[in-house]
Amino acid sequence: MSNTVSWAATLLRKKPVQSLTTEMAGSDRQGHLAPTMGLFQLTMLGVGATIGTGIFIVLTQAVPKAGPGVVLSFGIAGITAALTALCYAELASTIPVSGSSYSYAYATLGELVAYLVGWCLLLEYGVSASAIAVGWGQYLNEMFVDILGWRMPDAISEPPGHGGYFNLPSVVLVAMCCLLLLRGARESATINAMMVVTKILILLIFIVIAFSAFDPANLKPFAPFGIAGIGSAAGTIFFSYIGLDAVSTAGEEVKNPRRNLPLAIVFALLLVTSLYVLVALAGIGAQPWTSFAGQEAGLAVILRNLTGANWGSLMISIGAVISIFSVTLVVIYGQTRILFAMGRDGMLPAWFYRVDPRTLTPVHNTIIVGIFISVLAAFIPLDILADLTSMGTLVAFAVVSAGVIILRRTQPDLPRGFKVPFYPVAPILSVGFCLYLIVSLPAHTFLLFAVWLAVALVVYFTYSIRNSQLSPQRARSGQAAGQ
Amino acid sequence: MKYLVGYAADAGGREALALGRLLARASNVTLTVCTVVPSSWGYPSPARVDVEYEVFLARHAQRILAQARSALGDMPGAEFISRAAPSATEGLAEAAAETGAALVVLGSARHGPLGRFTIGSVSHDIFYAVSVPVALAPRGYHPAVETRLKRITCVYMPTPGSRAALDEAVQLCRRHGAPLRVVALVVRDKQMYPSGVGYNIENMVANVWKTEAIEAQQKVVAELPPDLKVTTSIGDGPDWKKALDSLGWEDSELLVVGSSVQSRVSRLLLGTNSARIIRSSPVPVVVVPHPPGDG
């Protein structure tokens, strides 16, 4: 009996918030900076982080599943994203430092849950970076077509499964991003603002031009595969809402978080969803829904077919190439830092958190992440990547939402900087929506996800459980390192 | 032992001379002051205009060296030479090789801020041309004649190049009877925006590096000779300049830093920390080359 209890205690051990604070202390040792972000910056942060992850490539995957009803799928995915982001914000505000959902889960829900959330984040970040990188290659190719009238050979530029064998452009993109990260190049808040404007402009250009050729006949039949089709497409589309958590994790940087966090999440979501729905509507109005399947660099190609000229698609392609680049950089960065944090906690081997004395960046970590992402991008078809990303993200968000309910019951007195409105309806709905979207993902995604979790558990029980900084053997060295 | 001072008739030359004088204020070190003039055409020309030019250059060099002599003041054993070469770097490298100089002293380029060293064309190339340490005088450097080194600081990051720098710093300390300070720098990188991993995650990376750096420091200090006075310190700041400033400096101090020999490609792609330290240091810097093939 006592054995079972100690096992449970091991799996549920929590990281003290104090050690999180120490780990993230700045050079002045005076604690945190004054909050700097107001509602507007925070909203722009959310919009910037979200747009660009998926909208440039997701129509090709989603429209064949739902038909014109994909417009509703965007709505469903958007509501789910908003609910989860609100829950995430509560969990984040409970821990007075900034971090990822891995860190929050570790401090509140215990080690095993945190560890599994970490592996889900690998899907959210690592695999989505691959998916985005594949999309980048397609737009790069369209750009070549518009400028040079030449395209790269299919074998090295097409996603595998669509006539290609090795997706070279995506590998090049990932390599460039990793190199920049090794150098310590970072996107600042200013560059983010510029990127937001670029991305919104491209999408607006697309919307305006495509709407000029709007044909209502294309909207019929509205839902050729019924509700199931719309749900299934929403699962895939959820991938294009990743990034909204950038708002939730802003934590201590936010002025008046009780008011600004939920408002920023809602505003960012409204902006993003309206843009997405307009893009989808414009695309569907411009060509029959059956034409979307297999169409690469969708937005650019639609414009070229519509106008019969290159300039429209060229603008879209250039904009997409630039903004997808910036998004990939951000996502790969997030991935390396999550692995860094996991390595720091002893969940992963030490080389994930070794800092190279020459670059002062985690070099091994970045290289491993780069290789992992490039291999996926080079050899795995895009639709599988997109679905896996959605799967990982949805599971992580479902856990976070459930975590809000669990924490309110187990530790009701914990000070919370921000509380989910309409408790407990919002978190329950959030979990419900996540589960609905998860269930509507294709069966092979479940299989892959099960394999993924199995690998994660094997690593946990063979390595992490003993090497955790919280395990009794390691406790002393952990304290030494924290000082 | 000889130190070679690269002298030109400008403020940079005078600053190099001042640093050379300070460094030569140690047992059995003599200075060789070298000025480089353009090499003339090596063939007889019609009307022998090249000879006229050569005569002019020789006189010019003598004038410059006379200036250097008066600027240096009384310095037993000091030599003054001039050398004709296609570039100042080549001339200095040849002179260094011929005189067997153990150290080359240079002044700063003029376009940088006062009190810091700015890499110019000569200092940019000299690291490739010579295999001995190079001392760099910051812009506006003019210590009083009787100044002595109060402390020598060595940047020790656990890279191969750092070890050679530390050995050189130990020798300099012995020669000047100055205490040694071993430092490592923690530069807090900018934070990525937007980020789903929080907005001070980069501090976690910096703090892990700090722990690593302190461990490496303790290890290497334990290996130093016990009779040497050694302190350690960590410079911590949002960029290289602030990290260096946070260390606190004596008014006559020297910074020793290693430069690992990298291929031009990796230099271009990754940049070098030594270049950043050189640009940001508030005191003269001695750059110690890392012998190729050694670790």
Give the pLDDT confidence of B185-206 residue by residue, as tens digits: 998 877 788 777 887 788 889 9
Q: What is the pLDDT of residue A445?
A: 92
ipTM confidence: 0.85
Predicted confidence band at B54 (pLDDT cuts at 50, 70, 90)? confident
The mean of the pLDDT values for chain A is 86
**Over the stretch B239-277, which tens digit does the pLDDT of each residue have?**
899 999 999 999 899 999 988 656 565 555 445 788 889
Q: For residue A150, give the amino acid letter.
A: W
Q: What is the pLDDT of residue A69?
A: 92
Judge whether B204 is closer than 8 Å to chain A, CB to CB: yes
Q: Mean of the pLDDT values across residues A238-242?
A: 86
Residue B23 clears pLDDT 60, i.e. is over it: yes
Judge whether B267 is closer than 8 Å to chain A, CB to CB: no
Q: In what order do the strands lie in the sheet with B79-85?
A: B79-85, B30-38, B2-6, B103-106, B134-136, B285-289, B253-259, B151-155, B180-187, B230-237
CA distance B71 to chain A (A): 40
Q: What is the pLDDT of residue A479?
A: 45
B155 → chain A, closest CA residue = A357
Q: Give the contacts of B77 (CB within 8 A, at least 6 positions apart).
A: B30, B31
Mutation site for A-interface testing, chosen from B183, B200, B202, B273 by largest number of A Cβ within 10 Å: B200
CA distance B99 to chain A (A): 34
The more confidently predicted of residues A459 and B125 is A459
Token pair in block for residue A296: 């690469």
Contact A182 B270 (CB under 8 A): yes
Q: Mean of the pLDDT values across residues B166-174?
A: 94
- What percentage of chain B exceeds 70 in pLDDT? 94
Q: What is the pLDDT of residue A34?
A: 66
Q: What is the pLDDT of residue B264?
A: 60
Q: What is the pLDDT of residue B19?
A: 95
pTM (2 d.p.): 0.88
Q: What is the pLDDT of residue B294?
A: 45
Picking from A334, A344, A357, the nearest residue to B159 by CB comes out as A357
Q: What is the pLDDT of residue B265?
A: 58
- What percentage of chain A exceeds 90 in pLDDT? 32
Picking from A26, A242, A338, the nearest residue to B197 by CB comes out as A338
Q: Mean of the pLDDT values across residues A372-379?
A: 92
Q: What is the pLDDT of residue B178?
A: 94
Q: What is the pLDDT of residue A482?
A: 40
Contact A337 B205 (CB under 8 A): yes
Q: At what angle do helices A311-344 and A363-379 cross, to 10 degrees?
A: 130
Q: Give the contacts of A197 (CB within 8 A, at least 6 positions apart).
A: none
Q: Mean of the pLDDT values across residues A286-315?
A: 85
Q: What is the pLDDT of residue A481?
A: 43
Enumerate the domain spans of chain B.
Answer: 1-146, 148-295
User: How many Cβ atoms are within 10 Å of A293's Cβ, its own excluded?
Assistant: 11
Q: What is the pLDDT of residue A478?
A: 44
Q: Mean of the pLDDT values across residues B125-132?
A: 85
Picking from A192, A340, A357, the nearest residue to B193 by CB comes out as A192
Of A307-316, B17-26, B81-90, minimum mean pLDDT range: A307-316
Contact A330 B191 (CB under 8 A): no
A with B: how many residue pairs have Cβ under 8 Å apart? 144
Closest listed residue to residue A181, CA positions, set A48, A361, A358: A361
Q: What is the pLDDT of residue A298?
A: 81
User: How many Cβ atoms are within 10 Å of B115's Cβ, its own excluded?
Assistant: 13
Predicted confidence band at A17 (pLDDT cuts at 50, 70, 90)? confident
Contact A344 B208 (CB under 8 A): yes
Q: What is the pLDDT of residue A446?
A: 94
Of A155-159, A360-364, A425-429, minimum mean pLDDT range: A155-159
Closest listed residue to residue A128, CA positions, set A434, A387, A400, A398: A387
Closest listed residue to residue B245, CA positions, set B257, B233, B260: B233
Judge whether B216 is closer than 8 Å to chain A, CB to CB: yes
Q: Mean of the pLDDT values across residues A243-251?
A: 80
Residue B184 clears pLDDT 70, i.e. is over it: yes
Q: What is the pLDDT of residue A474?
A: 64
**Over the stretch A260-276, which tens digit does the pLDDT of each residue have?**
888 888 899 899 999 99
Closest listed residue to residue B17, CA positions, set B137, B119, B113, B117: B137
Predicted confidence band at B183 (pLDDT cuts at 50, 70, 90)? very high
Tell me the C-alpha to C-alpha distance, in Å, between residue A157 and each of A177, A323, B209. Answer: 18, 19, 39
Judge whether A338 is closer than 8 Å to chain B, CB to CB: yes
Q: Mean of the pLDDT values across residues A383-406?
A: 89
Q: What is the pLDDT of residue A247?
A: 84
Contact A32 B200 (CB under 8 A): yes
Sign of CA dihedral A243, A249, A251, A252: negative
What domains can you pick out in chain A, each with its CATH number?
Answer: 36-469 (1.20.1740.10)
Q: What is the pLDDT of residue B266?
A: 55
Q: B13-29 as b/e, with b when 16 or more CB fall inside 10 Å? A: bbbbbbbbbbbbbbeeb
Q: What is the pLDDT of residue A463?
A: 93
**Over the stretch A279-292, which tens digit does the pLDDT of each residue have?**
999 999 998 998 88
Write out residues 133-162 of B within 8 Å (CB-CB) of A.
Answer: 157-159, 162
Contact B192 A183 (CB under 8 A): no
The more confidently predicted of residues A97 and A410 is A410
Q: A161-176 as b/e, with b when 16 or more CB fall inside 10 Å? A: eeebeebbbbbebbee
Q: Mean of the pLDDT values across residues A140-163?
A: 82
Domains B1-146 and B148-295 share a fold: yes
- Say if residues B15 and B139 touch (Cβ distance below 8 Å): yes
Q: What is the pLDDT of residue A27?
A: 67
Q: What is the pLDDT of residue B295?
A: 41
Find chain B residues with C-beta within 8 A of A340's C-beta: 201, 204-205, 208
User: How many Cβ atoms are within 10 Å of A292's Cβ, its own excluded?
Assistant: 21
Predicted confidence band at A61 (pLDDT cuts at 50, 70, 90)? confident
CA distance B183 to chain A (A): 13
The answer to whether domain B148-295 has CATH 3.40.50.620 is yes
Q: What is the pLDDT of residue B17?
A: 95
Q: What is the pLDDT of residue A476?
A: 46
CA distance B63 to chain A (A): 45
Q: CATH for B1-146?
A: 3.40.50.620
Residue A117 clears pLDDT 80, i.e. is over it: yes
Find chain B residues with C-beta within 8 A of A46's C-beta: 194
Find chain A residues with C-beta within 8 A of B205's C-beta: 337, 340, 355, 360-362
Residue B293 clears pLDDT 60, i.e. is over it: no
Residue A28 clears pLDDT 60, i.e. is over it: no
The more confidently predicted of residues A392 and B292 is A392
Q: What is the pLDDT of residue B53?
A: 85
Residue A29 clears pLDDT 70, i.e. is over it: no
Residue A419 clears pLDDT 90, i.e. is over it: no
> What is the SS3 assignment for B240?
helix
The reply to whether omega before A424 is within 30° of 0 (cis) is yes
Closest listed residue to residue B290, CA positions, set B146, B160, B118: B160
- What percentage of chain A exceeds 70 in pLDDT? 94
Given the DSSP bridges, would you call strands B285-289 and B134-136 parallel, antiparallel or unpaired?
Answer: antiparallel
**Over the stretch A326-354, which tens digit does the pLDDT of each residue have?**
889 989 999 999 999 999 999 999 989 89
Residue A432 clears pLDDT 90, i.e. is over it: yes
Distance of alpha carbon A169 from the chain centroid: 21
